[in-house]
Structures are given as structure tokens and as C-alpha cells.
Amino acid sequence: MSGVAPLELVDVVREYGGGRSLFGRRLPAHRAVDGVSLTLQQGATLGIVGESGCGKSTLARMIVGLLPPTAGHILIDNRPIDQFDRLSLHRKVQMVFQDPLGSLNPRKTVRQVLEIPLRSLRGMHAPARRDRVQELMHLVSLRAEFIDRYPHEFSGGQCQRIGIARALAAEPEIIVLDEPVSALDVSVQAQVLRLLQDLQARLGVAYLFISHDLAVVEAIADTVAVMQAGRIVERGGAAQIFLAPQHAYTRELIGAIPGLSAMPA
Amino acid sequence: MSGAQGIAVPLAPTPASRPSSAGVWRRFMRSGMAVAGAGLLLVVVALVLAAPFLPLSDPDRTDILHRMARPLTTGHLLGTDELGRDLLSRVIWGTRLSLLVGVVAATLSSLIGSALGVVAAYYGRAVDTLVMRGVDMLMAFPYLLLALAIVAALGPSLGHAMLAIIIVNVPFFARAVRGATVSLRQSDFIAAARLMGQSNLRIIATELLPNVLPVVVVTASTSVGWMILETAGLSFLGLGAQPPVADLGGMLGSARNLINVAPHVAAVPGLAILLIAIGVNLVGDGVRDALDPRLRAGGLARISAVTEVAPDRPMPAQPPSDALLSVRSLRTEFRSGGQVWRAVNDVSFEVRAGEAVGLVGESGSGKTVTALSIAGLVASPPGRIAGGSIRFKGQELIGAPLAALQDIRGNRVAYMFQDPLTTLNPLLTIGQQISETVRRHQGLGPRAAMAQAVTLLEQVGITDPAQRARSFPHELSGGQRQRVGAAIALANSPDLIVADEPTTALDVTTQARVLALMNEQRHRLGAALVFISHDMGVIAELCDRVHVMYAGSIVESGRVADVLSRPAHPYTIRLLACVPRPGQARREVEPIPGLPPATNALPPGCAFAPRCDLAIAACSAGAIPMVAVGQEHAARCVRTRDALQEAAA
Ligand SMILES: Nc1ncnc2c1ncn2[C@@H]1O[C@H](COP(=O)(O)OP(=O)(O)OP(=O)(O)O)[C@@H](O)[C@H]1O
Ligand code: SF4
Ligand SMILES: [Mg+2]
């Protein structure tokens, strides 16, 4: 399989609104994603950076199949995603959300949350599930005795670990992370970033890592794509983007990193 | 730490903030009225359930010879009715029937209504339109008229009356449940459930329903009483229970002609209805309050307008300085459930006129509580200032009268918060809100104040300010809202701006613009700034001096450049290592292992000791003083020398 890019986007477009009004007049459509082409290599991390409203989350939702693209192709293992059935798509690509607490059902314990994908996506039986849940908890460094607790009993960073464990339960090749650390303070953010790096080294999963903060993306990504108003305006190696930005918007993003000049390296 | 490659091992989870079921039960039992109502209902229910076993005479056996017997007649405790039937027996059997009808009607209408509401909200679009238009149509008819029309069409009988009551109540449940479901459906956990391969039916049954169930249960339990009354009403009109069987309404209806001759015949079922209605409503209110304590009548009114101050508080030993703001040995604590949470623990700092001071630290380190203590804005109860002194322009603020504090709030000291949406009034335009602030403190006329508001909006970089002044808060983006927050803070040219994470909810690009704006406007007015953030990088952008907070205490203070280049406290060193620095591809970020301690059980000595890799026995022996490490630079650590060396390495 090596050499095949597990995820490829070709001229992907997504419009909101549009259609026709009651009297058949064309309504103006808003292009949230405007012809994006990207390639994610196996076991690598592709960072997408841009300010809020530039279409990052729309892109994420299309890749995991929550939203159909208006035009263009999304290929997973060289196959368009509309040829996958729902379950086999979810076994290939998973997602971690921005709001750590909001992405967990307040009335389900950690165990219940983690068992769902094991049953419906991996078809595991009860005894196997029990062992696997323990393994997943260990994988994201959550203590085993937390397993029967409810989300509100956890801190933001711990909730995000549960969200990551849930995504890993499907054993996906790709995880789309939509602003996974933006709601966390710097020290917890550092813990989660470290965990993600560690998991990638161990499991070989590929990340599509989305953030508005170039410093965070740069810390975890191999390659970076800069997105502005639905388009990719610049792409390249993480260090190269930062050291030799080509596009004016990339330079603005670098300038926006707080304390860059004041903080000693 | 010896753990797997420094991956943080989580410690105890944060204390529960949502009501636990034990808490709900405790709150319910604390409400005397609800318990009384529950007792009343319990007696009634026990009585009607036991009806077949009680030594009651047949409720339908007529006895013309003893008609309209007064209460306390031998053999007829409550007397008899116009056909000589025993009233005690009839009222118990009648109550049994009425309760049954009420409970069945409430259950069925809530089940049908909730199912419609959930399906409409979950599938949205055409399904939603179809269901909700149907519901609207039903609701367009006057409620009782519709019920009457249904019974009239079907013919009078208790079953038809119940059916009518169910039909007219379904729309209310459908509306309530749809509302609760729509907001849930947007949430990420529903999207996550789809990605986990769950079917729509399963998502509705296991993800949505359990979360809307409390709404359904509360609405249903509070409406049982209504349904009993409504069926009684139909029976009263002769459309419900048919003779000789009678429910409470039917009994009341046939007794109404005897009201002058034998009032007790009507009074007995009337009283029964009253008692049931009182019982059901008391329990319903109790359930609602127990599930959502914030809704309790008067609950919010009890919070005082200024933070409570301990009368026997210790005063700081040091004399106050002549700085603009001087905070000395401030202690603010929260008391709940017999525990004391020391959120701010002996904090001292000062702010000189025109200077920018940063407070930095992890979530829960006490930054916000410190900031709110300045103007007495910490909620009491549970908060209270347990000691210390806060002087603003020489005036003591702790224990100052409310009038003095109100003059200072919003006028000499202005606050900016993380999300201005929570402090802006959603019903007023932003122009109205800014001009209101200006008018209150500057005594301008409405026109002049509005002109001033537009000028302020222009100064904070809002394009087309005259037009924007007419917008409502929700029509603005996060960045624009924070600019409005800045405009309100600047409105009265304050001497001090306290900004609590004003840019944390913004993306870095917008954050950079808002920070630049705050810097520029602050210098224009010569205002001092207290800026709170968890991110040292943001502090470095605009502060002169910084105080690093940990577990309610200041652990390092100094000029920003000094603290950044020569951090002297191990916590500061670790905090700086958490910030990703670009330009060094895939440089590992260095997380701090573990979590900060809970402030209700602070360890003796250094609170950072359990996470510190320089910790020695002396660290946990007792309180640790600030140690000077340079000019205006000090750290609360027994090993500052080693820490400085480690930082330099
Ligand atoms: N109303 C309250 N009742 C009880 N405890 C409270 C209340 N408000 C704050 N606390 C407690 O006081 C401590 C300090 O909280 P504070 O909000 O000042 O932290 P912070 O440093 O501002 O954190 P963040 O970065 O999350 O805003 C925490 O332990 C918190 O749980
Ligand atoms: S006092 Fe001791 S435990 Fe605390 S920071 Fe200094 S060295 Fe570490
Ligand atoms: Mg705070």
C-alpha cells in the first residue's frame, strides 16, 4: 500500500445557500470551499491553517462524509468516497471535534462512548470490547478507574483524550482533527499535542490537523496548507512555510502569532 | 516524572458541576412545599388504589329514602347525594377514575408529542415543516373549543373526552420537545454518533431521547393536574363520564343544581379536585426546581450586589503604596458543601498609572477571581473576601459602600470579558448600549451620547460605525463584538481597564488586530491595564510587567522581558515550554505532567511541588516567601538559583 496517498482532494467545492427562491429567481450562493486540492500521505500530518470562517470546518465535514461536496472529488485509497458505504467510510476516516465537552453525550459514560464504535464499526463482541476499551484508555493515558464516569466529571483536556480514544476505536487510517486544541489552555494544549505525536509514532495514523494558529500547526504538521476565503493560497513543508512565506496572507498569519518577537527561542 | 515518555497522567477529575441525581433528590426534599404536596398525593393515591379493599358501599347503589343525607350521618361519613348514593364511596371511586384519566392522557400526549417533536427536529427540512405546520394548525384553534368540537363530533363518553384532551395537548409537547431537540441536534456529539456508525433510529433512541427526557418528564408531571381539570371540565358539561359512573367533574356537574339545598354534595368532589390540583402543582414545581436550581424563584435575587467581606478579616502588615491600584494580601474564597476553596490566596501586586500588568497562569489558577475582587464583583454567596486590602487611588475598596463601588465600576475601572455576548444586552442595539454607558456617567443628552457612541465605534476600528450602531450584538462576528467590548470599556476614559482573556475566543489573526487596537487606545487615553491570559505570548505583546499565578498565589513577578529571558520559578519555565514556537520544525512541545492541585486541599509549602522536578524536602515544609532574583524580579521558590540555571541551559 505504501506510496498510495490515503486521502486526495481534487478541486473540491462546497456552496451554501443558492438554489431558487419561491419565484424561481436564482439565489446567490456562498462558496465556503472553493476548489481545494490536497494530498495526505500515509502516516503523515497535513496542517491546514486559516482564520475563522475561511472554510476549514466545512472541508473537514466533507472529508468525513458528514456533508456532500457541491463539486470535485474526494478520494480515499484512490476510491471516491461516494462509492463507500457509510460504515466502511467511517472505518477509514474519523474525526476529533473542537469543543471537548460538546462532542460527548452528557448521559453516556466513557465506557459507553467507546463501546459504540467497537460494536457498530468493528463488530466486536462484549468480552473483546471490554478488553479493547481498557486498551484505548491506556493509549490516551486516561486512568482505568475513570471508565464509568460521565463527561462533566472531566476537565477539557481529559474530554479531548476521550474524543481521541473514540476516533482511534474505529482503527482509522486517517483522523481529521478540527481545532482540537483551540479550546484548551496552553499547558493542556501541550499535553494533547504530545499525545497526538506519540500516537502517530506508535500507530502510523495520518492526521489532517486544522487550526487557526500557525504556531500550533507548525509544531505538529509535516506539510502545511494555508487557506484563505475557501482557497489554498500557499502550501509547503512546515518549516519552509514559516521561514520563507510566499503569500502575503501567510505573512499576516505569522505576524499574528502572539509574542513571537518578545519570546526568546 | 517517570511515566511513559512524559505523557501527562491525569489526576483527579474536576468537581462535578452538573446536578447529580443525589443532589436533585436533596434539593427536592429541602423544599418543604414540594414534600407536603408529595405527601398529599401519596395519601390520595394510596386511598384510591385501596378502594376495592376498603369497606365502602357500592358507589352506584341508590337509596331514595336516604337522599341528600348530611355528612356524619351513621353509615354515610360524608352523606349521600340526590339519589341516596354514598358520597364517600363515590368520591373515592370518582377520584380513582379522574386520576387514571389524567395520568393516561398526560402519558399518551407526552409520548405522541415528544415523538413528533424529536422526529421533526432530527430529520429537519420537509419532515419538520410538515409536522410543525400540522401542530400550528391544531394550536390555531382555541384550546377548549377544539376539545369540545372533538367530543361533539365523536359523541359524549369518557373515552372520547380523554381522546380530545390528548389531541389538544399533543402540540404543546411537540413544540417543547422540538425546541429542546433542535439545539441538541446541532451539537458535535450527534455528528460523532453518526461517524461511529450508528443508525438514525439508534441516534434518536440512545443519543437524543435520554437528553430530552428531563424536559418531557417535567412538562408531563406538571400537566397531569391540568389534564385532570380539563377532563373534569368536560364531564361537568356532561360530555365525559356518563351516569351512573362518575368522575369528579361528573359529580360536580350533577350536584350543581343542588347547591342551595345540599351544598355538601358539590363541596365534596370540589374539595377533592382542589386537593389534587394543589398536590400535583406543588410536586411539579418541586421537580422543576430540583432539576434546575437556577430557575428557582428568587434564587438569583439572593446574590448580593457586592462581594461579601469577612468582618474579622486580617489586615496586611505593609502600608499601602501610592500606586494607582494596590492589592495587598488579598484572600478570596468560596464556601460550599462545608468546604473552603481558597481561589485567591495571599495575592499582592500593584499597578501604576498608565502601566500594563499581566496575570498569567493555567485555568483555575485564580486570575479571574483576583480581577473580579477589585470591584467587588465576585458572586456572594458562595464567594467572600476573607482578607487583605485593595486601594484604588488611595481609596480602600474592600468593605466600601455599594454606592462608592458602583461609581468606580464602569467609570474609573472598566472591565472587558472573554465573550462580550454574555455582558451585552441582546435586546438593545450596540449604539444604545454604548450611549447608555456614556449618558450614565457623563450626563450627556441622548443625541450627544449617540454621536459619542458612533465616534467610539469608529475609534475601535468598526467600519461604517453609524450603520453598525444600529446592529444587535448577535449580528456581529466575535472579533467585532470584542471591539464593541473595547468601545464600552473606553467610553468613560477609565483610569484602569481590567481585561479578562478578551481575545481567547478569537482566532489568532483577529486576536492580533484586537490586541493592537487595545494597545493603541490605551496609550491614547493613558489608562492602566490589567491583562489576564493563559498565554505568555499574548502577555508579552502588550504588558510591561507580569505576575505568574499558580493555585491562587503569585509565584513569580517581574518585567516581562526579564521573566521571559530569565524565568526563576520552575513553573514559569515549564509554562513557557508549553508554548509552541515556530521555525524549529517538529520541536517537541514539553507538557507539564499532571494537573494543578484542588484549592480546597492545598499541600503545605509549595503547591507546585508534586509536579516540580526540582522539588526537595524543604519545598513542602512550610510557606515559601518571594525571593528577589533581580531588580523588580522575584520568585516564590527555595531553589531559584537552580531554576535560573536550568532555564539558561
Ligand atoms: N462561583 C464560584 N463558586 C465556587 N468556586 C469558584 C467560583 N468561581 C470560581 N471558583 C473557583 O476558584 C478558582 C479560581 O478560578 P478562576 O476563575 O479565578 O480561575 P482562572 O485562573 O481565571 O481560570 P481560567 O483560565 O479557566 O479562566 C477555581 O478553583 C474555581 O473553581
Ligand atoms: S519551591 Fe521547590 S517544589 Fe516549589 S517550585 Fe521551587 S523547587 Fe519546585
Ligand atoms: Mg478566568
Q: How far is CA B183 from the centre of its chain?
A: 16
Residue A215 lies inside a defined structural domain of this protein: yes
Find out whether B290 and B308 touch, Cβ atoms under 8 Å: no
What share of chain B in percent tops pLDDT 70?
A: 92
Mapping DSSP onto H, E and C, the string for chain A reads CCCCCCEEEEEEEEEEECCECCCCCECCEEEEEEEEEEEECCCCEEEEECCCCCCHHHHHHHHCCCCCCCEEEEEECCEEHHHCCHHHHHHHEEEECCCCCCCCCCCCCHHHHHHHHHHHCCCCCHHHHHHHHHHHHHHCCCCHHHCCCCHHHCCHHHHHHHHHHHHHHCCCCEEEEECCCCCCCHHHHHHHHHHHHHHHHHHCCEEEEEECCHHHHHHHCCEEEEEECCEEEEEEEHHHHHHCCCCHHHHHHHHHCCCCCCCCC
pLDDT (0 to 100) of residue A18: 66
Phi/psi of residue A73, nearest 5 degrees: -125, 140
pLDDT digits (tens, 9 = 90+) for B237-265: 888 888 788 788 888 888 888 888 888 88
Region B283-302 average pLDDT: 58
**Residue B554 or B208, more confident:** B554
Mutate-to-test residue for ligand 1 from B340, B367, B532, B578, highest number of ligand atoms within 8 A of CB:
B367
Q: Is B425 in the pocket of ligand 1 (CB under 6 A)?
A: no
- Cβ–Cβ gap A102/B13 under 8 Å: no
CA distance A84 to A65: 10
B587 touches chain A (CB under 8 A): yes
Q: What integer best gives the mean pLDDT of chain A?
A: 90
- Cα B352 from Cα B149, distance rounded (Å): 77
A265 assigned to some structural domain: no
User: Distance from the CA of B380 to the center of ligand 1, in angstroms?
Assistant: 14
Q: Which atom of ligand 2 is nearest to the CA of B613?
A: 8
Would you say B281 and B222 are in contact if contact means Cβ atoms under 8 Å apart? yes
Is the pLDDT reported for residue B618 higher than 90?
yes
Q: Which of B17, B21, B39, B111 is nearest to B291 (CA)?
A: B21
ipTM here? 0.87
| C-alpha B535 – ligand 1 centre gap (Å) | 17
pLDDT, position B278: 87
Restricting to B residues 554-583, those with a Cβ less than 8 Å away from any Cβ of A are 560-561, 564-565, 574-583
B549–A contact, CB cutoff 8 A: no
Quick check: A103 and B14 CB within 8 A?
no
Distance to chain A for B570, nearest Cα, Å:
14
Query: Which chain A residue's Cα is nearest to B590?
Result: A190
Number of domains chain A contains:
1
SS (H, E, C) A84-124: CCHHHHHHHEEEECCCCCCCCCCCCCHHHHHHHHHHHCCCC
Q: Which domain holds residue A220?
A: 7-255
- Chains A and B: how many Cβ contacts under 8 Å? 227
The answer, yes or no, to whether any atom of ligand 2 lies below 6 A from the CB of B290, is no
Q: Which string of DSSP letters, residue by residue, matches B281-350? A: HHHHHHHHHHH-GGGSTTTTTTS-SS-EE-TTPPPPSSPP-SSSEEEEEEEEEEEETTEEEEEEEEEEEE
Residue in the structure block whose three cell numbers are 505576575: B547
B392 pLDDT band, cuts 50/70/90, is very high
Q: CA A34, CA A32: separation in Å to the nearest integer? A: 6
| A170 interaction partners in chain B (CB closer than 8 Å) | 195-197
What confidence score (pLDDT) does residue B427 get? 82
Is A264 a domain residue?
A: no
Q: What is the 3-state secondary structure (H, E, C) of B141-161?
A: CCHHHHHHHHHHHHCCCHHHH
Encode chain A (265 residues) as per-residue pLDDT tens digits: 445 689 999 999 999 876 666 566 666 778 889 999 999 999 999 999 998 888 899 999 999 999 999 999 999 999 999 999 999 999 999 999 988 888 999 889 999 999 999 999 999 999 999 999 999 998 998 888 889 989 888 888 889 999 999 999 999 999 999 999 988 888 889 999 999 999 999 999 999 999 999 999 999 999 999 999 999 999 999 888 988 999 999 999 999 888 877 766 5
What count of other Cβ atoms lies within 10 Å of the Cβ of residue B50?
A: 12
Residues 62-91 (B) with a CB less than 8 A from some CB of A:
none
Q: What is the pLDDT of residues B25-50, one digit of tens each?
A: 777 776 778 888 889 989 999 988 98
pLDDT in the model for residue B453: 92
Whether B561 sits inside 8 A of A212 (CB atoms) is no
Q: Helix A156-169 and helix A186-203: axis angle, to 10°?
A: 20
Q: What domains lie within chain B, and their CATH numbers?
A: 28-51+89-298 (1.10.3720.10)
Q: Do B540 and A243 touch (CB under 8 A)?
A: no
Ligand index nearest the alpha carbon of residue B646: 2
Which one of A90, A219, A258 has the shortest CB-CB distance to B508?
Answer: A258
Which CATH number is A183's domain given? 3.40.50.300
**Ion ligand 3 — residues with CB < 5 Å:** B 368
Nearest Cβ partner for A166 among B192, B363, B582:
B192
pLDDT at B248: 86
How do residues B100-143 score in pLDDT, each as one tens digit?
988 899 999 999 999 999 999 988 888 899 999 999 888 888 87
Per-residue pLDDT, averaged over B541-555, amounts to 95
CA angle B243, B247, B249 (to 5 degrees): 100
- Distance in angstroms (rounded) separating the CA atoms of residues A188 and B362: 9
Contact criterion met (CB below 8 Å) for B617 and B627 = no
Ligand 1 within 6 A of CB of B610? no
Query: pLDDT per residue over B361-383, tens digit each?
Result: 988 899 999 999 998 888 887 88
